[in-house]
Amino acid sequence: ENNPFVTMGKLRAFIIELDNPQGVFFAGNCVSGRLYIELDAEMNMREIRLKFKGAANVYWTESRTTGTGSKAETVTDSYSAHETYFEQRVPVFGKGVGMGSENSLPPGEHFFPFSLQLPPTLPSSFEGGVGYVRYTIKGTIDKPWKFDHDTKRPFTVTSLLDLNTYPNATSEVRNLHQKYLCCLCCRSGPISGLIKLDRSGYVPGEMIPFNAEIQNMSSRDCAPSLKLNMVTLFHATTSTKTTSQEIIRMNHQVVPAGETEIWTDRIQVPPLPPSFLMGCSIIDINYNLELTIAPSGPAYDLNVPVPIIIGTIPLYSVVQQYQTQYETSLQEQAPPFAPPGAETSLTQLPMPPPTYSECVFGKTNIREEDDSEHTRGEMDYAPAYTYYDWSKQSQFNLKI
């Protein structure tokens, strides 16, 4: 039996249940649920408490060599930074609620309801390896003279990034690079790459149509590809680390020597955290779409990136396009999707309600320093992000 929520002995089950089973919240929302305990026999304890926590953490190490020759040694430097958004302990039974320090629960099932009002501004949940923004609820049965029992439940906070508040989100973006391939015998002509998007702002689930032009005036065949990249900056107190992650790649047929190719296609944005990670000062997120032209043989690739913004509220102009496409009448529309705290004039237009999809990067282990090997609950977790599937006409006719 591998159920992570079940322990041996008296404690049959120790689970944090959320009223919102998806576990996705906006800043300002109320997180409510109950702590469920099932005992086979009476259990003595000081108290049962919950800890609600929202925090960002950055940590990495770098090795360097000092000295020379026989005096050379490797030194490892650690870099870190931390931000706490909230941390609240709430006793639900025993000492903390005025019952003294010697208490017991009889065998059977026990439920302890809880609710937490989230602060009005919070950064989106993010799991980035070197750093994270993480929101958790931890339940503890505090036992005298014995190991405590712990259970943990992560939840996702999604912050709003309204593309309509970024003037450049509707602007065309383009980039052109070229390079020469040097040969020993002769210098061949240049290879050049142009990439063009009609706008820079998108939401997860949307298609990004792109136009690329590959001019191969060299003497070698070239293989073009297009990548969606996420570039993350982790700021420690004394240093910054940058990581680049390829999210999706599309490959195109080879462009022969001396040929020019026009490549027009589209690429879909998967579930991702919004750009910039607003509200977190120790992690920054940026995205780009990058045309790469790889010459055959030994040579450096030509990379042509353009910046894009990933938001959580789509552009009105895009919503209107889809509405025209499906011939829906504005008069018959349901109220717009408007999460709490949305300070935009969303009432002007009906919005398709988003769904929430697990991050494209998948699950990560969220065990922390204050967790023991006995901590139960969800230790493998992936944040969920807003995702719009506009291929479904029903999304525009949903009665909210």
Same fold, 11-160+356-387 and 163-310: yes
Over residues 35-64, the mean pLDDT reads 95
Nearest-angstrom CA–CA distance, 48 and 151: 11
Three-state SS string over the chain comes to CCCCCCCCCCEEEEEEEECCCCCEEECCCEEEEEEEEEECCCEEECEEEEEEEEEEEEEEEEEEEECCHHHCEEEEEEEEEEEEEEEEEEEEEEHHHCCCCCEEECCEEEEEEEEEECCCCCCCCEECCCEEEEEEEEEEEECCCCCCEEEEEEEEEECCCEHHHCHHHHCCEEEEEEEEEECCCCEEEEEEEEEEECCCEECCCCEEEEEEEEEECCCCCEEEEEEEEEEEEEECCCCEEEEEEEEEEEECCCECCCCEEEEEEEEECCCCCCHHHCCCCCEEEEEEEEEEEEECCCCCCEEEEEEEEECCECCHHHHHHHHHHCCCCHHHCCCCCCCCCCCCCHHHCCCCCCEEEECCCCCEECCCCCCCCCCEECCEECCEEEECCCCCHHHHCCCC
More reliable by pLDDT, 300 or 353: 300
Find, among 302, 174, 310, the residue nearest to 247 by Cα: 310
pLDDT of residue 18: 96
Residue 342 clears pLDDT 80, i.e. is over it: no
Over residues 278-298, the mean pLDDT reads 96
Q: Are strands 11-18 and 43-45 parallel, antiparallel or unpaired?
A: unpaired
Residue 333 clears pLDDT 60, i.e. is over it: no
Query: In the chain, pLDDT over 90 holds for what percent of residues?
Result: 65
Residue 328 clears pLDDT 60, i.e. is over it: no
pLDDT of residue 392: 60
Predicted confidence band of residue 126 (pLDDT cuts 50, 70, 90): very high
b/e per residue 6-30 (b: at least 16 CB within 10 A)? eeeeebbebbbebeeeebbbbbebe
Nearest-angstrom CA–CA distance, 211 and 313: 25
pLDDT of residue 380: 79
pLDDT of residue 376: 73
CB atoms within 10 A of CB 97: 13
Residue 349 clears pLDDT 90, i.e. is over it: no
- What's the length of the chain? 400
Average pLDDT over all residues of the chain: 86
Q: Are strands 11-18 and 380-381 parallel, antiparallel or unpaired?
A: unpaired
Residue 12 clears pLDDT 50, i.e. is over it: yes
Over residues 153-165, the mean pLDDT reads 94
**With 0-12 CB in 10 A as exposed, 13-18 as middle and 19+ as buried, what is 126?**
buried
**With 0-12 CB in 10 A as exposed, 13-18 as middle and 19+ as buried, what is 143?**
middle
List, in order, residues 6 or more apart from 38 with CB less than 8 Å away.
Answer: 11, 12, 13, 14, 108, 109, 110
pLDDT of residue 351: 59
Q: Which CATH number fits domain 11-160+356-387: 3.30.43.10, 3.20.20.110, 2.60.40.640, 3.20.20.450?
A: 2.60.40.640
pLDDT of residue 252: 97
Residue 340 clears pLDDT 70, i.e. is over it: no
**Worst-scoring range by mean pLDDT, 26-40, 71-85, 206-220, 383-397?**
383-397
Architecture of domain 163-310: Sandwich (2.60)
**Worst-scoring range by mean pLDDT, 73-87, 179-193, 299-313?**
179-193
**With 0-12 CB in 10 A as exposed, 13-18 as middle and 19+ as buried, what is 80?**
middle
Token pair, residue 219, equals 């003497």
**Domain segments of the chain: what residues?**
11-160+356-387, 163-310
**Worst-scoring range by mean pLDDT, 47-51, 210-214, 345-349?**
345-349
Q: Do 307 and 200 touch, CB atoms closer than 8 A? A: yes
Residue 262 clears pLDDT 90, i.e. is over it: yes
Find, among 362, 361, 363, 359, the residue nearest to 4 by Cα: 363
Residue 227 clears pLDDT 90, i.e. is over it: yes
∠ CA 115-100-103, nearest 5°, is 80
Residue 129 clears pLDDT 80, i.e. is over it: yes
Over residues 79-84, the mean pLDDT reads 97
pLDDT of residue 75: 92
